[in-house]
Structure 1
Amino acid sequence: MIPFCPLCGNLMFVQEKGARIQLVCNICPIFQVITKTVTSKTYYKLKEIDDVLGGAEAWKNVDSTEERCPKCAYPRAFFMQIQTRSADEPMTTFYRCCNIECSHNWRD
């Protein structure tokens, strides 16, 4: 909960004054002494990251070209082009090795 000043509505800030901790408003002469410390942690579930290329389904209907795989040296690779940066930048070409045992992904 974020505390706001009851008079002016501005955000109240935490201030240490000796042994006590209080909330103070920078505009009004209002302060509230903090008597109880409340802590809680909430762990939100992280969204699963989608594959930038669309997962395995995106590679089903793509063309292949003569591009050598840097991992297994297979002479052909599937490719697709995706606009990953702003519109005035060139498209990024992604490759996947045609060798089923390798299936290495890289980009140009």
Structure 2
Amino acid sequence: MEFCPTCGNLLQFELPQRESNSRLFCPTCPYVCTLDSKVKIKRKQRLVRKKMEPVFSEEDRKNGPQTDGVTCPHCGHGKATYHQVQIRSADEPMSTFYNCLNEKCGKTWRED
């Protein structure tokens, strides 16, 4: 991106026509800058996915605080560990994530 040195507006690109070179021009004032070399416009940019580490490790989930008042919706077991995270805006309540303590189940669910 280039900006006009006189008025500060964003310069617009104009393709070369016949014998003239491509140029950058200001839409509000008479400033024009001709480009002598070829301009290469790239439209694709590959994004690289970063490897993300979990916030809570598997050990943190198993050794977290326990509750007896919650029933697992998958197996019906009555004990689970939990942790709370603020994933929405500050005026919304925290989300509670539960992990079933049944060794055969081990499912995770969320209550908002």
The bucket for the TM-score relative to the shorter chain is 0.5 to 0.7
Is the strand fraction higher in 1 or 2? 1
RMSD across aligned positions (CA): 3.1
Cα deviation, 1:23-69, whole Å, max 9, x if unaligned, reads 32022212345673403444343333343x52324314212223222
TM-score, length-scaled by structure 2: 0.65
In structure 2, the gaps of 5 or more residues are none
Tell me which residue corresponds to 1:91: 94
| Count of residues paired in the alignment | 106
- The one-letter amino acid paired with 2:97 is F
TM-score, length-scaled by structure 1: 0.66
- The one-letter amino acid paired with 2:13 is V
Separation in 2 of the partners of 1:6 and 1:61?
Answer: 62
Moved more, 66-75 or 35-44: 35-44
In structure 1, the gaps of 5 or more residues are none
Distance 1:6 1:63, change over 3 A: closer
